[in-house]
Amino acid sequence: MLDILQTILVTLLTLAILVAVHEFGHFWVARRCGVKVLRFSVGFGKPLLSWTDRSGTEYVIAGIPLGGYVKMLDEREAPVPEELVGQAFNRASPKSRIAIAAAGPIANLILAVFVYWLVFLNGVSGVAPIVAKVEPGSLADQAGIVAGQEFLSVDGRSTPTWEALQLQLLERIGEDGDVHITLRSPDSDLITENVVALRDWMHDIEEPNPVRELGVTLFVPEVVPKIETVVADSPAERAGMRAGDLVVEADGRPLESWQAWVEYVRQKPQEQITVTVERGTQRVLLTMTPDRKLDGESQAYGYVGVGVAMPSWPESMQRTMEYGFVGAGVAAVDKTWRMSAFTLSAIKKMLMGLLSPKNLSGPITIAKVASSSAQYGFFAWLTFLALLSISLAVLNLLPIPVLDGGHIVYALVEWLTGKPVAEQVQVWANQLGLVLVVFVMIFALYNDVLRL
């Protein structure tokens, strides 16, 4: 119950920040363009809290925190008093309307830069991507990559950590051509450049893992089956298992790794098992029956409800990037630019059929990721907030009617031709755009449900 409450609260906070910043961008620029703002609302539905400033703008916090809006004076929506006609949005110049429409997405990009700046100012830590295993016959094997090598760069861009490596490889999803990978051999300064040949790479994979698709397993320290957390009212808790227990045997079978323990439990849904654990200097015998859960629609597996104590990484594999005040800002702008380009490229590839549409995510996935990132710490959540802010900015700039990009297109046409787009054309286009947006949202929600 507490996990669900945390997920809800973190998700609402994340969405509230994104919406407030986005709508403030529209609001701030509208006022400076001489357009009267009637209402600035965070959320939809019945107002929970509202107040009005000296300019007559009503500020609202509403009960459905799944969006927001800025309502401006507009003759197309309601009669406007003669003395206020000059402050109506529809009377603003095309350049002013473009600025107002673009201000929301730009505000989200500025938020992303600021958030990344905070993250980089704190320092970024990661783990060096060192090859533990290469699958025979895989792309990596064909390119001559061998165990023990460390990834240094992909296509000329440095990859000091797992995250950097995954992101750089993801940029090549759905593509043909060569990937140039620089690696350093173990215990030496020998650096080699290996070329991996791609063809429609990962275009039909639902949750692409580029390192795995290369045929590479990265090195991780051995994880022993030492229990760190026990889920309340789980089979493990009912059997008396405690945090700190080291699992030694299951039904008399020695277990030396966490993976061996997990695989054994998964094979025993609703079957009683006898587990031997080391607790301090004593060995304790426990009896438990794993719950039965479904993997997908029909494959059953066992579940006992415990979490593992993760080992520490060797110091030689830890990478920390430190940035000064200005350096953090430069890195933040670069990161925001790269992630914006990556998001736009992913949309393009999805439309071209080079990337599986099953990668499209909706509110449920956003909620889960927001909650899990918050559990990893404040800066992990900030990183997710920045990424979501970039996604919101890029999506809103798409030239789709009802989105900010659609309003920009209308104003551009008027600016170039000297004539506004016919109102009936705008009505039809907006209806079509609304249908498209709703369809995408339903499809994203459908993907979310399938992932559950």
Catalytic status, residue 23: yes
> Which residues share a beta bridge with 88?
none
Token readout for 435 is: 């249908």
**Nearest alpha carbon to residue 138 among 127, 150, 146:** 146
Beta strands in 84-209 (DSSP E): 124-127, 131-134, 150-154, 157-158, 177-184, 191-198
- Residue 375 corresponds to which tokens in the numbers above? 């559990």
What letters, b where the CB count within 10 A reaches 16 and e where it falls short, cover 339-358?
bbebbebbbebbeeebbbeb
Task: Indicate which residue of 23, 249, 297, 414 is catalytic.
Answer: 23
The token pair that represents 243 in the structure block? 């945090």
Tell the residue number behind the tokens 């933040």, with chain if given: 332
DSSP code per residue over 378-431: HHHHHHHHHHHHHHHHHHHTSS-TTSHHHHHHHHHHHHHHSSPPPHHHHHHHHH
| Rounded Cα distance, 216 and 136, in Å | 10
Helix or strand (DSSP H, E) at 299:
strand 299-303
Give the pair of three-digit tokens for residue 402: 């009802």
Return the active site residues: 23
